[in-house]
Amino acid sequence: MLTKLWLVKSYFNSDVDEEDWIQIFLITFTLKNVERENKKFYLHNFFINYLDLRTSAKLLQHCENPCTLHNVNIIVFYNQCGIVLLLIPSNGANVRFFVVQFQKQGKDVERVKQRLAEIANYVDKFFRVLNIRVALVGLEVWSDSDKCPVTQDPFNTLHEFLDWRKVKLLPAKSHDNAQLISGVYFQGTTIGMAPIMSMCTLEQSGGIVMDHSDNPLGAAVTLAHELGHNFGMNHDTPERGCGCRMALDRGGCIMTPSTGYPFPTMFSTCSKKDLAASLEKGVGMCLYNMPEVKVLYGGQKCGNGYVEEGEECDCGEQEECMNPCCNATTCTLKGDAVCAHGQCCEDCRLKPAGTPCRESSNSCDLPEFCTGANPQCPANLYLHDGHACQNMDGYCYNGICQTHEQQCITLWGPAKTAPGICFERVNSAGDPYGNCGKDSKGLFAKCEARHAKCGKIQCQGGANRPVIGTNAVSIETNIPLQEGGRILCRGTHVYLGDDMPDPGLVLSGTKCAEGMICLNRQCQNVTGFGVHQCSGKCNGRGVCNNKKNCHCEAHWAPPFCDSAGFGGSLDSGPMRLAEQKPWSAESFQSVRGISLLKDISQEKVTKEFPKHYV
């Protein structure tokens, strides 16, 4: 199932000023017909969270034949007796929930697609209040075989799916994020998993979701939760003091660590703050671009909020439309209006060419300007990957300038990066406190010396304890030196629950050596990005953007900045000379780092390396 999802400026929500866009891809899974014996169990409790559902066999009361909770998928139904669980023994096979859906829908692919479209519609509704739209643009049903390995190990499944997305899916279909919806019964209490603050990245922009409920709302809530992690949203815990308009016994909010019935349908104040902070720091540089509406799944409709073929505007349903330029009934412009939507449309008129419509958000971002011919701001642009940034301390990657020092400041306040020996010794352990992530088997991987600065972040100085919240454990490691004395290395372990990989790891795109950058927990050469070859054609009067075109300084014209002109690029629109200062890559504010999750009580762990390590 392919979906596209974007952020929009809506007239029924005035809290957000940006006209942000995002494309989202949803991939759903079904497997071939699997014969099975159905078993029914009854639950004592009507309200039950997923943790109880997955771990408390005592809650189950046997009704027919003996059956355990080992190797089964669970599907929730409702009848006069309360909540009924249909347990499907897998007999060693990976039984998918959509196998059941396929059977329940009479092996009708169209009915399966209809259900999945309903899931996407729920997610769209959840995110609308954040000015994020979800639009279904296609469906893919895997009815014969899996296109990537999917097992009960969520870490391995996430790893395999993200690899498949990068290698197979991205070249076939341009998108910003991929979510796998599956019926695999994951080990432990996990019903979904996604990397935090990974939106738009090549390697990690995606997640996995278990379709755990007969009600499509259940899968939609889990999908929205994991998508929230991609956006940088952390869990809503009591320690954070999040405001939620819905009481916990009535569902609570979407980013609660565990949930159940009734399902949550809204985001908390913490989620909104996390999202705003992520966007400000440069997470999600791909979110600002207009999607292609011609590929929307289900055909066009006046009133869906998307300006489709044959429409001049679309401000939503008549009762929600507050756009003074658009007729909600006919999706046509009113009177002498020439536009109704877009950052380059004001009072139903186009703004002049050169009017700034999107400022740069950080040192790796580029500004955009109105063209005078289109109501939409040009697609968001940023510096080509591999551009030096922050006084040569980092390299731009996906529009963000990541450095070890900035991550240390995020963790400890006024701190600095620890010496290389800290990274090498601590991350060679291959344990929860020092590693290069997890391997395909879900085990902590030891870092080779050359990749050590891409493992767990190591710092010195700063506050007495991590400033990121009560769920962070302080890890202090004393390393003896050959010349005598010891060096103190400060790391952290962040307790996240079961649905996020550890954000205490060094972030992708961080500079790990001169001319080197962290990618996939390895220190790799930036020359592979080709930034120097690209910038060489700009004649020293501009920089290369992510589309491999020159962004020229004011007074110079694209495409090669070799003649007089209005600045900007072929992609960004022209600068207005009277109001724009000459642009340089270092003229914008630097990234402030990344916020990590806040959850549980503070504790401190001290490790001592034995003398034989020296």
Across the chain, how many H-helices and E-strands are there?
10, 29
Known binding residue 532? Answer is no
- Is the preceding peptide bond at 262 cis, omega within 30 degrees of 0? yes
Q: Which two tokens stand for residue 368?
A: 């955009």
Q: Which residues pair with 350 in a beta bridge?
A: 345
Residue that is written with structure tokens 């999706």 in the block: 331
Q: Which residues contact 253 (CB under 8 A, 6 or more apart)?
A: 236, 242, 244, 246, 264, 266, 267, 268, 271
Residue that is written with structure tokens 């705003």 in the block: 276
Known binding residue 229? Answer is yes
Task: Detail the DSSP E strand segments found in 383-422.
Answer: 388-389, 394-397, 400-402, 415-417
Residue 31 near residue 143 (C-beta atoms within 8 A): yes
Known binding residue 235? Answer is yes
* Sign of the alpha-carbon dihedral angle for 341, 343, 349, 352: negative
Q: Which residues pair with 89 in a beta bridge?
A: 72
Residue 230 near residue 222 (C-beta atoms within 8 A): no
Cα of 464 vs its chain's centroid, Å: 31
CB atoms within 10 A of CB 584: 10
Catalytic residue flag (residue 226): yes
Instruction: Give per-residue burial for 474-485: e unless 16+ CB within 10 Å, then b.
Output: bbebebbeeeee
Running DSSP on this structure, what letter comes out for residue 312? S
Rounded to 5°, the CA angle 58-63-67 comes to 65
Catalytic-labelled residue, pool 226, 312, 424, 553 = 226
- Binding site membership for Zn(2+): which residues? 225, 229, 235
Query: Binding-site residues, please?
Result: 225, 229, 235
Q: Which residues carry out catalysis? A: 226
